[in-house]
Structure 1
Amino acid sequence: MPDVALLALIVVAMLAGYLLGRRDLRKKNHSQSSGQALSKEYFVGLNYLLNEQTDEAIETFIKALDLNNDTVDTYLALGSLFARRGEVEKSIRVHQDLLARPSLTSSQSLRVQLELAKDFMQAGLLDRAEAMLADMARNNHEYRLEALQQLLKIYELEREWTKAVAVGEELRKTGADRYAVVLAHFYCEGALICLNRNDRVSARKAIRQAFTRDKNCVRASLLLARMEFDDGRYRDCIKALEKVAQQNSHYVPLTLELLEQAYGRLGNVRGFTAFLGRCLIERPGGAVILAMTKVLASDRGDEQALRFLTGQLGKNPSLKGLNALMTLQLRNPAVGSLQSIRLLKEMTDKMLELKPVYQCNSCGFSGKEMHWMCPGCHSWGAIAPVQGIEGE
């Protein structure tokens, strides 16, 4: 039984034959012998397809198809079919042959160039795709927007952030507001490059640019906070970190370690406790509960920390919270409970080792490392700490 793709290819061939027949009827001055030649080539090509000799079929249909608006679409459908099947070389051949025809209109030529650039991208020939798309993006036409979008994908893959910013800004000018968030991440990537070469002035400028595109860019706040901390500006570091709670409270867990250190450098443990208290009222997440438990254990002792954590876990259960509770109980074992608690803790330790820490809210990709661009679907700012009983 032939596969679906082969059947689709046969349908394309049949469509080509139909278009050729209709063209012959319209052209009354076309010679009878020429019409017979075309018909013969069509059936030869169909025979090749039925025998799955697709290379020979392509050659035959290329010879058989005269170019007009209808047959350009047929060519493009054929190339698209090969691309979907993963036969990129064949798709490239179809599109290159089509592009070489002098009878193409300007619009048709641009459309074919766009499809050929996609072929190059799929084949991993990013330099060739980039050159073609960059040339298309220089002038205003109906395919410019899509050319810019494809060009942006290339720069993301190649991590060419300066070029990505330039293309992203062009896309933003078209009224596509969704590129503002993406641009903020590009500026953050630029800031990281500047920091790696110790150009802190340029890094700060890039962070400011990120905020101009997305005022709620958590990543920019975290980068700024780290810079402020490293420069000894602990109050500014705290300001940047506490801003994250207003930008997107899901990312508060990413702020707590550095926030505790900054408050510690200022000798202001109460300030950190007050921040945790506000978070517990507004959004009592597991990471905040554990941070408060740690502060209470250090400041008031394990017994007070145990009471607090037990009460919080009754309202906001989590594996990490349970694990922390058992750690405290092991330090202060009740009579007869030590062995059972130890065994339970070993089980939760193993469970936590296997659980992902971060998850993409767009495609569901999960892992233990934080990525600002999802490795699965390449969305920016879609990955966040896992929430709920198995999360933070």
Structure 2
Amino acid sequence: MPDLALLALIMVAMLAGYLLGRAEKKKKKEHFPEQPLSKEYFVGLNYLLNEQTDEAIETFIKALDLNNDTVDTYLALGSLFCRRGEVDKSIRVHQDLLARPSLTPLQSIRVQLELAKDYMTAGLFDRAEAMLVDLSRQNHEYRVDALQQLLRIYEREKEWPQAVEITESLRKLCGEDYAPRLAHLYCEIAEDKLRLNDRSGARKYIRAAYSRDKNCVRASLILGRMEMEEGRDRDAIKALQKVSYQDNRYVPLTLDMLETVCHRSDQQRALGSYLAKCLNEKPGTAIILAMTAQLMNSRGEVSAMDFLTGQLRRQPSLRGLNALMNIQLNYPSEPSLTSIKLLKEVTDQMLVSKPVYQCFSCGFAGKEMHWHCPGCHEWGTLAPVQGVEGE
């Protein structure tokens, strides 16, 4: 019923648009004979009241004159159907509008843009792309919207070079807000190059990512991984530690690689100093656990347990508690092993069900890191979950 009421309001708006259009014509002419509203309008209204929306739309479209006032009403009607999931009806409204020869060039562009959005909603990406490519090459006030919709298609289809081209155009038109997005797109191409074992190509696009966003964490992670795989440990450490001042929320993503490289190059002491610095700047469970592992290797389980216990008092977390129980089970010093085992089983189960990463834009949560949020489709908005149940 709410949809029907909203549709009725739109039809009332159509009537208002019709009357306003007639009034405008009357102003422009010295004499304009009064023209009563056609009987088709009332036939359409009857269809509407009987919830025969298809027939109502058909009748209204045929009955009403097209003028500057009614174009907006038709577009609102199309948007209503699209929101309701009745994309075929929205397409029909917009196609009927496009067939009207009285549309101005700008109105035609606007209707084409709405029709392209309908095609996208319906999954007809080829049709939408063809329309949007044409619209994006023209100079008009809706060009940015056309480019944005085209970018959505290329990102969805993972056509990264085309997405880069469109985003570069948007950056020139709208400014540097598009720079971080561009950096992610260049990183996508770099990842594709790595899958093809084109490492020099990957480095080229990592440089391109940095040129658009010097604080691109993802570029540093890819570069650090490449340096590690190629045996350049010093360069790997430099790239990975760069993340701590780019955005220290992502330091946990670097720790496994850093531990591998520092162990391989016998730089555990340097790693300990770096972890202490990170812990001082932004305490987090992943850093605490990495330092606990360092202490286990260098000073033994007693020092590691003391450190971890102290940190958990200040910053409790499930992962930290789980790690503490692990140490106590492996190095029992108290007779309460049964209760510790039971508690560990409970925390194990809790950790299995908890998300590891969450989008700070839309709230999407999951166990895998996504640079392109599956929820809101923004770039670089997922980060490790913080707090008691977090990283």
Which range, TM-score by smaller chain? over 0.9
What per-residue deviation string (whole Å, max 9, x for no partner) do you get for residues 20-51 of structure 1?
3455562787677xx45x52010011111111
What per-residue deviation string (whole Å, max 9, x for no partner) do you get for residues 337-366 of structure 1?
222211111111111111111111111111
Alpha-carbon distance, 1:84 to partner: 1.6
Alpha-carbon distance, 1:303 to partner: 1.3
Q: 1:86 to 1:335 in 2, by over 3 A?
A: closer
Correspondence for 2:126: 127
Q: Which 4+ residue blocks in structure 1 deviate beyond 3 angstroms?
A: 18-25, 27-32
Letter in 2 for 1:20: Y
Correspondence for 2:357: 358
Secondary structure (helix, strand or coil) at the match of 1:378 reads: coil
Correspondence for 2:7: 9
What per-residue deviation string (whole Å, max 9, x for no partner) do you get for residues 60-102 of structure 1?
1121111211121221122112112111111111110111111
Alpha-carbon distance between aligned partners in 1 of 2:19 and 2:361, rounded to the nearest angstrom: 48
Question: What TM-score results when the alignment is normalised by the length of structure 2?
Answer: 0.95
Alpha-carbon distance, 1:307 to partner: 1.4
Alpha-carbon distance, 1:18 to partner: 3.7
8 Å contact kept, 1:41–1:64: yes
Q: Does 1:137 align with 2:136?
A: yes
Letter in 1 for 2:10: V
Alpha-carbon distance, 1:17 to partner: 2.9
Alpha-carbon distance between aligned partners in 2 of 1:178 and 1:22, rounded to the nearest angstrom: 41
Q: 1:44 to 1:30 in 2, by over 3 A?
A: farther
Alignment of 1:244-323 (within 5 A): 244-323=243-322
Alpha-carbon distance between aligned partners in 1 of 2:325 and 2:71, rounded to the nearest angstrom: 70
Residue range with higher mean Cα deviation, 344-353 or 218-227 = 344-353
Secondary structure (helix, strand or coil) at the match of 1:384 reads: strand
Alpha-carbon distance between aligned partners in 2 of 1:193 and 1:285, rounded to the nearest angstrom: 32
Unaligned runs of 5+ in 1: none
Alpha-carbon distance between aligned partners in 1 of 2:255 and 2:10, rounded to the nearest angstrom: 60
Alpha-carbon distance between aligned partners in 2 of 1:300 and 1:270, rounded to the nearest angstrom: 12
What per-residue deviation string (whole Å, max 9, x for no partner) do you get for residues 223-270 of structure 1?
000111111111000000000001111111110110011111212221
Q: 1:220 to 1:63 in 2, by over 3 A?
A: same
Alpha-carbon distance between aligned partners in 1 of 2:20 and 2:351, rounded to the nearest angstrom: 68
Correspondence for 1:79: 78
Letter in 2 for 1:344: L
What per-residue deviation string (whole Å, max 9, x for no partner) do you get for residues 100-125 of structure 1?
11111111111111111111111111
Alpha-carbon distance between aligned partners in 2 of 1:20 and 1:327, rounded to the nearest angstrom: 75
Correspondence for 2:53: 54
Q: 1:15 to 1:287 in 2, by over 3 A?
A: closer
Alignment of 1:133-212 (within 5 A): 133-212=132-211
Q: 1:230 to 1:61 in 2, by over 3 A?
A: same
What per-residue deviation string (whole Å, max 9, x for no partner) do you get for residues 271-293 of structure 1?
11121121122222111111111
Letter in 1 for 2:13: L
Alpha-carbon distance between aligned partners in 1 of 2:348 and 2:289, rounded to the nearest angstrom: 16
8 Å contact kept, 2:44–2:60: yes
Alpha-carbon distance, 1:316 to partner: 1.8
Q: 1:21 to 1:391 in 2, by over 3 A?
A: closer
Correspondence for 1:225: 224
Q: 1:202 to 1:335 in 2, by over 3 A?
A: closer
Residue range with higher mean Cα deviation, 259-268 or 230-239 = 259-268
Alpha-carbon distance, 1:137 to partner: 0.5
Letter in 1 for 2:57: I
Secondary structure (helix, strand or coil) at the match of 1:178 reads: helix
What per-residue deviation string (whole Å, max 9, x for no partner) do you get for residues 287-308 of structure 1?
1111111111122211121111
Secondary structure (helix, strand or coil) at the match of 2:38 reads: helix
Q: RMSD in angstroms over aligned alpha carbons?
A: 1.6
What per-residue deviation string (whole Å, max 9, x for no partner) do you get for residues 166-223 of structure 1?
0100000013322111111100000011011111111001000001111111100000
Alpha-carbon distance between aligned partners in 2 of 1:18 and 1:330, rounded to the nearest angstrom: 77
Alpha-carbon distance between aligned partners in 1 of 2:22 and 2:389, rounded to the nearest angstrom: 68
Unaligned runs of 5+ in 2: none
Correspondence for 1:347: 346
8 Å contact kept, 1:256–1:291: yes
Q: 1:48 to 1:387 in 2, by over 3 A?
A: same
Secondary structure (helix, strand or coil) at the match of 2:266 reads: coil
Q: 1:4 to 1:297 in 2, by over 3 A?
A: same
Alpha-carbon distance, 1:129 to partner: 0.8
Percent of pairs identical after alignment? 64
Letter in 2 for 1:143: Y
State the aligned residue count.
387
Q: Does 1:106 align with 2:109?
A: no
